[in-house]
Amino acid sequence: MEQEADSTVLITGGAGFLGSHATLVLLEAGRSVVVLDDFSNSRPEALRRVAALAGLDGWTATAPGQWRAGPSTGVSLQVVTGDVRRVGDLEAAFAQAPIGAVLHFAGLKAVAESVRQPLRYWQVNVGGSLRLLEAMTAHGCRTLVFSSSATLYGLCEQVPISESAPVQPINPYGSTKAAVERLLADAAASEPGWRIACLRYFNPVGAHPSGRIGEDPSGLPNNLFPLVSQVAVGRLPQLQVYGCDWPTADGTGIRDYIHVMDLAEGHRAALALLEQESPQFLTLNLGSGRGHSVLELVRAFEAASGRPVPWQAAPRRPGDSAVSIADASAAQRRLDWRASRSLDECCRDGWAWQQANPHGYGD
Ligand code: NAD
Ligand code: UD1
């Protein structure tokens, strides 16, 4: 039941933080990639750098909003500017090459924004996934890795959190991730042939060790790691620590931080498994299985950067929990993969990116 493992991979949202690293890892594994991205939260420059890191020559405009790097035969990166909700844009992506599999990263991800604009989140995250599934069906492509999130566990009290923990999202962003997983499960059950992996990420951080690609949030970041990096580089004066009275050793929240390169390699492993085994529907946590507090991360970042990260205690953030740590054993078992990079490496690589690109790709 093995599937062709050298076909082109479509990566939606491939210019974003996680998608750009996954694109690089797949190119380096010898896969040609078509990226479909509307650049609503990213820039083409990220992909130009991915192509250069992968050793692909040229970065040529092939049509308005489309680029290509690499030889006409052999490994290449093709880029299509477009929206996953638009049939015509999906058709343009599928027209670049015969697509064997899709990694679906495109979506909106800010929790607070999702509370203010739930319809937009449902439209992009759920509507976009639905359109993508329809296009895949039309093109006979049945292999999909979906970017899910540990956010759908809500305020889970039991740690480590395994995949069998209840799905109980507490915000619209989490609801859309749960809904897409449901949609994919229904599609997989409706006809044989689908090979689908829902990967539930914990807290992805860090950057490629070259410092050439990394996270480039527009406006004020929402998450701890980019906030800490921006304080270290002097873009922000200090960090607000949301709660020093949690029931943890130092009173601050504990999370499972996973290096973005480990996460990207987890996608390569998930794709390999889907292509090698019989059609199936898989749900796996991607985390390190280790927890670190806010203050541990601050200290690790200070050590990696040699810069102070001033902080101030602030009230707890609504919707936060004390501890979130993945039970990463199922992914280790099924994918023969584990998150191998330490928190210190996350900080070292995150700092290399931040220091070389204090204003992200805009520099
Ligand atoms: P990101 O915003 O950096 O990347 C998302 C990419 O999708 C961007 O390049 C954006 O321009 C693109 N995009 C957005 N809407 C689109 C649309 N309608 N059509 C085409 N492209 C579109 O985010 P990220 O951190 O790389 O996250 C990628 C995926 O992983 C998202 O689905 C997110 O929900 C999920 N996820 C992220 C985290 C995290 O902490 N970063 C955690 C769990 C899950
Ligand atoms: C947040 C989202 C979650 C999403 C995840 C990854 C919320 C409530 N949850 O999770 O849905 O899946 O990002 O994108 O937004 N912290 C501070 N000061 C800050 C920012 C954060 O002390 O300025 C603390 C938090 O309280 C938490 C830890 O740092 O203890 C990590 O926060 P963050 O990076 O936002 O991730 P999560 O809260 O795990």
User: Which pLDDT does position 119 carry in this prediction?
Assistant: 98
Contact 326, 204 (CB under 8 A): no
DSSP string, 64-109: TTEEEES-SSSS-EEEEE--TT-HHHHHHHHTSS-EEEEEE--S--
What integer is the mean pLDDT of 231-237? 95
Task: For the beta carbon of residue 171, count every other beta carbon within 10 angstroms.
Answer: 18
**CA angle 164–167–172, rounded 5-degree value:** 155
The 3-state DSSP class for residue 259 equals strand
Question: Whole-prediction pTM value?
Answer: 0.98
Contact 320, 180 (CB under 8 A): no
Over residues 295-347, the pLDDT tens digits come to 999 999 999 999 999 999 999 999 999 999 999 999 999 999 999 999 999 99
- CA neighbor of 58 nearest in space, from 75, 37, 43: 75
User: Which pLDDT does position 302 carry in this prediction?
Assistant: 98
- Residue having the nearest C-alpha atom to atom 30 of ligand 1: 147
User: Measured between alpha carbons, how far is 214 from 264 in angstroms, rounded to an integer?
Assistant: 12
Q: Structural domains in the chain?
A: 8-362 (3.40.50.720)
- CA neighbor of 339 nearest in space, from 273, 253, 264: 264
Write out the H or E segment, with its range, that includes residue 53: helix 44-53
Residue 4 has pLDDT above 80, yes or no: no
Say whether 173 is catalytic: yes
What integer is the mean pLDDT of 36-40? 98
Q: Which two tokens stand for residue 240?
A: 């607000």
226: CA distance to ligand 2 center in Å? 11
The pLDDT > 70 percentage for the chain reads: 98
Contact 193, 281 (CB under 8 A): no
Is any atom of ligand 1 closer than 6 Å to the C-beta of 111? no
Is any atom of ligand 2 closer than 6 Å to the C-beta of 317? yes
The 3-state DSSP class for residue 180 equals helix
The pLDDT > 90 percentage for the chain reads: 93
Q: In the structure, what pLDDT confidence band is assigned to residue 157 with cuts at 50, 70 and 90? A: confident
- CA neighbor of 77 nearest in space, from 85, 91, 88, 66: 66
User: Which pLDDT does position 14 carry in this prediction?
Assistant: 98
User: Which pLDDT does position 218 carry in this prediction?
Assistant: 87
Contact 82, 36 (CB under 8 A): yes
Residue 6 has pLDDT above 90, yes or no: no
Lowest mean pLDDT among 69-73, 124-128, 251-255: 69-73
184: CA distance to ligand 2 center in Å? 27
User: Measured between alpha carbons, how far is 11 from 339 in angstroms, rounded to an integer?
Assistant: 22
157: CA distance to ligand 2 center in Å? 16
Ligand closest in space to the Cα of 83: 1
- Residue having the nearest C-alpha atom to atom 13 of ligand 2: 223
**Of all atoms in ligand 2, which is nearest to the CA of residue 317?**
26
Cβ partners under 8 Å of residue 96, min gap 6: 8, 34, 78, 80
User: Which pLDDT does position 362 carry in this prediction?
Assistant: 86
What integer is the mean pLDDT of 130-152? 98
User: Measured between alpha carbons, how far is 149 from 204 in angstroms, rounded to an integer?
Assistant: 10
What integer is the mean pLDDT of 42-47? 97
Is any atom of ligand 1 closer than 6 Å to the C-beta of 147? yes
The dihedral region occupied by 186, where left means phi > 0, alpha psi between -120 and 50, and beta the remainder, is alpha
Over residues 52-107, the pLDDT tens digits come to 999 999 899 999 999 999 998 899 999 999 999 999 999 999 999 999 999 999 99
- CA neighbor of 214 nearest in space, from 222, 205, 223: 205
Is any atom of ligand 1 closer than 6 Å to the C-beta of 37? yes
What integer is the mean pLDDT of 276-287? 98
* Candidate of 12, 21, 37, 119 to mutate for ligand 1, largest count of ligand atoms within 8 Å of Cβ: 37
Is any atom of ligand 2 closer than 6 Å to the C-beta of 217? no
User: Which pLDDT does position 24 carry in this prediction?
Assistant: 98
